[in-house]
Amino acid sequence: MDAEQLRECGHRMVDFVADYYKSIDTFPVLSQVQAPRGIYLQPGYLKKLLPDTAPSKPDTLDALFDDIREKIIPGVTHWQSPNYFAYYPCNSSTAGFLGEMLSAAFNIVGFSWITSPAATELEVIVLDWFAKMLKLPSQFLSTALGGGVIQGTASEAVLVVLLAARDRTLRKHGKTSFEKLVVYASDQTHSALQKACQIAGIFSENLRVLKADKNKNYAIAPQDVIAAISMDLSAGLIPFFICATVGTTSSSAVDPLTELGQIAKEHDMWLHIDAAYAGSACICPEYRHHLNGVEEANSFNMNAHKWFLTNFDCSLLWVKDRSYLIQSLSTNPEFLKNKFQASQANSVFDFKDWQVPLGRRFRSLKLWMVLRLYGVENLQSYIRKHIELAKHFEQLVISDSRFEVATPRTFSLVCFRLLPLTSDQDNGRKLNYDLMDAANLSGNIFISHTVLSGKFVLRFAVGAPLTEEQHIFAAWKLLQDLATRLLGSS
């Protein structure tokens, strides 16, 4: 590494990135790779534009920048665009960006405390700060038996706690009980749980996917969980894991944590809370009630990389009793032994024992920088602003009788649809698909969809850092104009 070369090239890259952000709203939000026009027509477009083999001699940075502009950017979907409203947000910020830069500079691999003490210790401190911001019960703090750890994604978070819960139950019932283990969730739970079950070896027929309650905005109905558990118990099975969601992926539904906590407690089951998206909102006192009941949870997860200005990836997982994670995931090979390794006599954490991989990045830096450079009050305002913008969008939908809001908004996601002219459901599906497709192909906005109660529904999630009121109005105007065109031709 030549420091002067880094300085020069680094400045150029920062200029490039700053210019990118400055002009981000001039790019089509959704990559036009699949658009029915232009050069970037088809999947595989890049293979046609780049050589088959790596260059044998070094290229220049200028040549690279040319390729980035001409070949890479056209194939990028601009998640940071103010007109990005699809899926859930994935925030970037100056603070998060700088944290990523510093993390890349140190480029440590902090699997044990000794491999970079600051990395482990900052992670412990920042996760304790965050737990306090969310008002998680004190058992989740590192000073008690629990603690927080940064995972790459919510999928990894649910996997590691499922493994911990599985092994805890097997220690109680014996290893031969494996095939009896049952997991409970709703049909609105993220597919990450299904994948975790597949990896953890939970029998596919033992994942109870209970139909969410349409009348409760698609939250799980506790009486359905009780009924399913009681049937399973009478069949000699072992209920061991409930996955609750605060802010489901389709519609931001909030499962009833207090009731699920009581059920879990009664049957000595592990309760995991997936608040990947909506957890961020719970730093605001007025939204904190969505976490009421977390007292009975064994683990809680939220993605700071979704709606918390922290660049991807940064998924925060807290457990009430870290020993379960460590029992399931620790290894102690000779080549990693050191005099500071985690043990009862030693108060250090070796985070390799709280996750699937061995190696881990210095991810706490960017979260620490976000927390310090914004401060909690500004972060709360940031969340509130998006929720206000979503409220405006919801009002706009309500004010046009050709549309309906599909389920009441809870956070910054609005689920809505264009009403078909006939009651034929297929018509509604095609109509709304065409509306979404036309909006996305216009390049002006990017929205996504889901299906609720058999109806094809459009999702408008506010949460990109640069989104302002003008973007909401422009998006709505586009959707209205397209609706007029589609209804006119249907």
Kindly list the residues in this chain that would bind ligand PLP in the complex (CB under 6 A): 88, 153-155, 190, 192, 245, 247-249, 274, 276-277, 303, 315
Q: What is the DSSP string of 319-331?
A: ES-HHHHHHHH--
Nearer to ligand PLP, 380 or 450 (CB): 450
How many whole angstroms separate alpha carbon 91 and alpha carbon 305?
6
Smallest gap from Cβ 28 to ligand PLP, in A, equals 23
Least CB distance to ligand PLP at residue 135 (A): 20
The DSSP secondary structure of 391-440, one letter per residue, reads HHHHHHHHTSTTEEEEE---SSEEEEEEPPSSS-HHHHHHHHHHHHHHHH
The secondary structure of residue 296, as a DSSP letter, is G
**Nearest CB to ligand PLP, comparing residues 77 and 341:** 77
**Which CB atom, from 232 or from 274, has the smaller least distance to ligand PLP?**
274
For ligand PLP, the closer CB: 113 or 277: 277
User: Within 13 A of 465's CA, how many CA atoms are on the CB side?
Assistant: 22
Report the nearest approach of ligand PLP to the CB of residue 273 (Å).
10
Between 126 and 302, name the residue whose CB sits nearer to ligand PLP.
302
Contact (CB, 8 A) for 273 and 245: yes
State residue 179 phi and psi, 5-degree precision. -70, -5
**How near is the Cβ of 180 to ligand PLP at its closest, in Å?**
27
In whole angstroms, how close is the CB of 464 to ligand PLP at the nearest point?
A: 15
C-beta of 158 vs 370, nearer to ligand PLP = 158
Parallel/antiparallel/unpaired status of strands 315-319 and 147-151: antiparallel
| Residue 83 or 189 having the CB closest to ligand PLP | 189
Report the nearest approach of ligand PLP to the CB of residue 34 (Å): 22
Alpha-carbon dihedral sign for residues 43, 436, 22, 366: negative
Mutual orientation of helices 469-489 and 425-441 as an angle, nearest 10°? 130
Q: Label residue 38 exposed, middle or buried (CB < 10 Å: 0-12, 13-18, 19+).
A: exposed
134 vs 154, beta carbon nearer ligand PLP: 154
Q: Least distance to ligand PLP from the beta carbon of 113, Å?
A: 26
Compute the least distance from the CB of residue 154 to ligand PLP, in Å.
Answer: 4
Measured distance CA(382)–CA(287) in Å, rounded = 14
> Looking at the DSSP assignment, which residues form a beta bridge with residue 416?
405, 458
Looking at the Cβ atoms of 206 and 249, the one nearer to ligand PLP is 249
- Whole-angstrom CA distances from 51 to 32, 54, 59, 74, 387 are 22, 7, 13, 18, 46
Per the CB < 8 A criterion, the answer to whether 415 and 462 are in contact is no
- The distance of closest approach from Cβ of residue 445 to ligand PLP in the complex, given in angstroms and rounded to an integer, is 19
